[in-house]
Amino acid sequence: MSRKIIHCDADCFFAAIEMRDDPSLMGRPIAVGGRSDRRGVISTCNYEAREYGVRSAMASAHALRLCPDLIILPHNMEKYRLASMQMREIFYDYTDLVEPLSLDEAFLDVSGCSKHHGSATLIAKEIKQRIHKDVGITVSAGAANCKFLAKIASDINKPNGLTVIPPEKTEEFVLTLPVSKIFGVGKVTQQKMAKLGLYTCRDLKNKSQIELSEHFGSFGQRLFELCRGIDKREVKPSRSRKSLSVEHTFPNDLKNIEQCIESLPPLFVELKSRLNKLSDRYKVVKAFTKIKFNDFSTTTIERVGTSARISDYTQLLKEGFERGKKPVRLIGMGVRILDLNDEEGALQLDLFKHPADQ
């Protein structure tokens, strides 16, 4: 059976989160990175900044020379990790085979997913829609029968793009790819290939495996396969799921704690529904509630030793509301979980046991 691999990549992730939380930044060139007077470096920037030539890994001082109006914001890793967790929870609704590459991108193997009759195209569309609605940012996605092509496809129509490479179109698509699109082909290798007249995958395909190995050593075997669209690497989950959550942004701010409490039951029903689908290998160890106030400030309250009951979330909500005492635009609730099949997780589980259980 042909595999169905999706690669999701958030668009200018750090900058997108900052623009989401401060709409006044929309349409202005912004970047996230270190200060220019301290030899800071740009981590990421939005597309408005890229029009001036600003790029990630560029010195902040140089970025400001290219774009004097550039707004450079400091990192807020807590916000970025939270958004990353939210995206990952959405991915897990479709498959357990999720391989995170970084905070903002991941491979998903949806070959066994029954949603949308197994259509990787429709699954990718729904994932994009949910991330936009629930996380407030856009992602670009690519779908193909292997990781190599899915990752290339996700980069084709950025931002907010979706490119699908059907199996019957794989060969046609691969042959036109420049060799620079192959992971592992850097500037030095490109120069060496250029001397051999190798500029596209079509050029590589005209070489035998022996010839490629003579010129590029062990990498020659990999080139022989990739220029034919062959990538046998599996999607390997690098970590177990750590949490599960749901949240809702309200069309009108909730003005007091009473209104906030009234909003909990529908969220709780949704959370319990998702918990019921969770494998027995996971154990709930914490409950948490997230609140975003009308000034976009956010607070999260966690508690160990709960059973994820609505009474727990009501109490957490009250404590969180007291921290801000402002109208609320978003409420989320969730659980931290441990994978009992994970040796490290099983070891940590002892720490949460009640003394009477030991």
CB of 44 within 8 A of CB of 13?
yes
Active site residue 168: no
Calculate the CA 335 to chain-centre distance: 19
Q: Put residue 160 in one of left, alpha, beta given phi > 0 → left and psi -120 to 50 → alpha.
A: left
Calpha distance 142→162 (Å, rounded): 6
Provide Rg for the chain, Cα atoms: 23
Q: How far is CA 338 from the centre of its chain?
A: 21
What does the DSSP 8-state code read for residue 59? B
- Per the annotation, binding residues are 9, 104
CA 81 to chain centre: 10
List residues forming the annotated binding site for Mg(2+).
9, 104
Q: Could you tell me the sign of the dihedral formed by the alpha carbons of 279, 130, 80, 288, in that order?
A: negative
Q: How far apart are CA 10 and CA 103, in angstroms?
A: 9
How far apart are alpha carbons 238 and 101 in whole angstroms?
A: 9
CA distances from residue 93 to 99, 147, 256 in whole angstroms, order as listed? 14, 20, 33
Q: Residues 91, 348, 339, CA angle at the centre, nearest 5°?
A: 30
Catalytic choice (18, 48, 99, 105):
105
- The pair of structure tokens assigned to 193 is 């290939």
Structure-token pair, residue 115: 């949603």
The CA distance from 189 to 184, in Å, is: 8
Which residues carry out catalysis? 105
